[in-house]
Amino acid sequence: MSADRLEHAVWRKSSASGAVGNCVELTWPQGEVVAVRNSRNPDGPVLVYSRTDLVTFLADVRKRRA
Instruction: Spell out the per-residue pLDDT of the chain, length 66, in tens.
Output: 666 778 888 999 877 777 776 788 999 887 788 999 888 888 888 999 999 999 999 899 999 987
pLDDT of residue 3: 67
Whats the size of the chain, residue-wise? 66
Prediction pTM value: 0.75
pLDDT of residue 6: 82
**Cα separation, 52 vs 34, whole angstroms:** 9
36 bridge partner residues: 26, 47
